[in-house]
Structure 1
Amino acid sequence: MRFIGFLVALIATMVAIPAFAQQHTIASTHSEKAPETTDKENLWLLDLSTGGRVTILLRPDVAPKMVERIKTLTRRHFYDGTIFHRVTDRPLPIAQGGDPTGTGTGDSDLPDVPAEFNYLPHARGAVAAARTADENSANSQFYIMFRPALSLDKRYTVFGRVIDGMEYVDQIHRGEPPKDPSRVLHAYIASDNPPPYQPAPATAQSAPTLGDGGDLTLPPKKPAE
């Protein structure tokens, strides 16, 4: 599974993070400015089965390739119906989705995206690209942080942050995989003038959408030790 790794000595690492961060600041290598929260071309909208619309501010100034991938797949309706297949509070507080098979082993048919590690922190609401042990293996899968986990900083590509609707993220059903997975009903880029949020029928909300014969019981892909 494309899965967010964590440090073996997690507690010790988290204690040391403030000093580390002061000594190793990663600056943006792009001249582009961060988009405004009103910039509809960089607002990613996720209509969730948990009851509402989540607005994510994309950051092409620090992760242009990953942001472009998100826009391309969204406009292909790739994310519509996909489930959150890995949702945990410990050891990592994340909701992970973006796999068309719903297993954690799948991705889009597009080439992988190279790492764009940057200075954006894994704060509450941060949105980042999932990958394997290969730093350049991000593709379509992403995760949203329920709480800060700064041990992940500069190890995964953060490409956005939730600016509205975090309460709907908090309600995503937990599990690895969840017994009753929450899902993305529709994904939009705000500049494409999407319709207002509309909940799915109750029977459809609880039904995971799997592609290519995906099976939720398949063993997850693990990063290399």
Structure 2
Amino acid sequence: MRRFLLIAAFAASPAFAQEDGPGPNLVIEVGGEANGRVVIDMFEEAAPLHVEQITGLAEEGAYDDVVFHRVIDGFMAQTGDVEFGKTGGDMRMAGRGGSSRGDLPAEFSDIPYDRGIVGMARSQDPNSANSQFFIMFDEGHFLNGQYTVVGRVIEGMDVVDAIKRGDGPNGAVIGEPDRMVSVTVER
């Protein structure tokens, strides 16, 4: 059953009403300073290879206990390093890894990087996205056409807003980072 949802932080602004699309939906239980549920409507039509990769990793349990290793206030929260980003691992390595699956070719679209948009992290090579993704705290239109958009937060933006921020220009989280306790897929 699909339903119409409204991001609570923007209840007064119809421009930020979000409709749950055809999915699938990625459901993330966040733990740490931020606690709660985040639901992401995955854009299968815009980025089919990336959505298949993310949902496959989620169904395997690969994202469970992976930290938000790079969090920049007013910009974004990055997670998804299933190789080096597990809770209890060497956080100095978090953000450098991927998964056992291959890197993906870019699937750029005309979807703008607005608040709540989810994009794929990559190296300087546009065809290097693998498992890491980021959630936008605010708009970042300078990313448009440069990073693959994979979805939009349709529930729990208040939880995203509460994720522990990092320090310095690269947003590295010091101490105990927030994490994705569990990540599941609703089809």
Normalising by structure 1, report the TM-score: 0.66
Query: Which position in structure 1 is the counterpart of 2:55?
Result: 71
Please give the secondary structure, in 2, of the residue aligned with 1:147: coil
Please give the secondary structure, in 1, of the residue aligned with 2:69: strand
Which of 138, 143, 149 is equivalent to 2:140? 149
CA contact (8 A) 1:83 1:183 kept: yes
Which of 80, 84, 104 is equivalent to 1:98? 80
Runs of 4 or more consecutive aligned structure 1 residues displaced over 4 Å after TM superposition = none
Q: Answer yes or no: is 1:161 the counterpart of 2:152.
A: yes
Query: Which position in structure 2 is the counterpart of 1:53?
Result: 37
Amino acid of the residue matched to residue 37 of structure 1?
A: D
Higher helix share: 1
For 2:110 and 2:119, the matched residues in 1 are separated by 12
Offset of 1:37 from its aligned partner? 1.5
Amino acid of the residue matched to residue 155 of structure 2?
A: D
Higher strand share: 2
Percent same amino acid at aligned positions?
A: 42
Query: Which position in structure 2 is the counterpart of 1:33?
Result: none
Offset of 1:51 from its aligned partner? 1.6
Deviations 1:96-152 (A, max 9, x none): 000121211111010001100101111000000000000100000000000001000
Amino acid of the residue matched to residue 61 of structure 2?
A: H
Offset of 1:38 from its aligned partner? 6.0
Query: Which position in structure 2 is the counterpart of 1:89?
Result: 73
Structure 1 segments unaligned to the other structure (5+ residues): 1-35, 192-225
For 2:144 and 2:130, the matched residues in 1 are separated by 19
CA contact (8 A) 1:84 1:182 kept: yes
Query: Which position in structure 1 is the counterpart of 2:178?
Result: 182
Please give the secondary structure, in 1, of the residue aligned with 2:49: helix
Name the larger-Rg structure. Answer: 1
Normalising by structure 2, report the TM-score: 0.79
Offset of 1:178 from its aligned partner? 3.3
CA contact (8 A) 1:87 1:178 kept: no
Amino acid of the residue matched to residue 107 of structure 1?
A: G
For 2:27 and 2:156, the matched residues in 1 are separated by 10
- Tell me how large the CA RMSD over aligned residues is: 1.3
CA contact (8 A) 1:86 1:178 kept: no
Amino acid of the residue matched to residue 42 of structure 2?
A: L
Please give the secondary structure, in 1, of the residue aligned with 2:142: helix
Offset of 1:78 from its aligned partner? 0.5
Offset of 1:82 from its aligned partner? 0.1
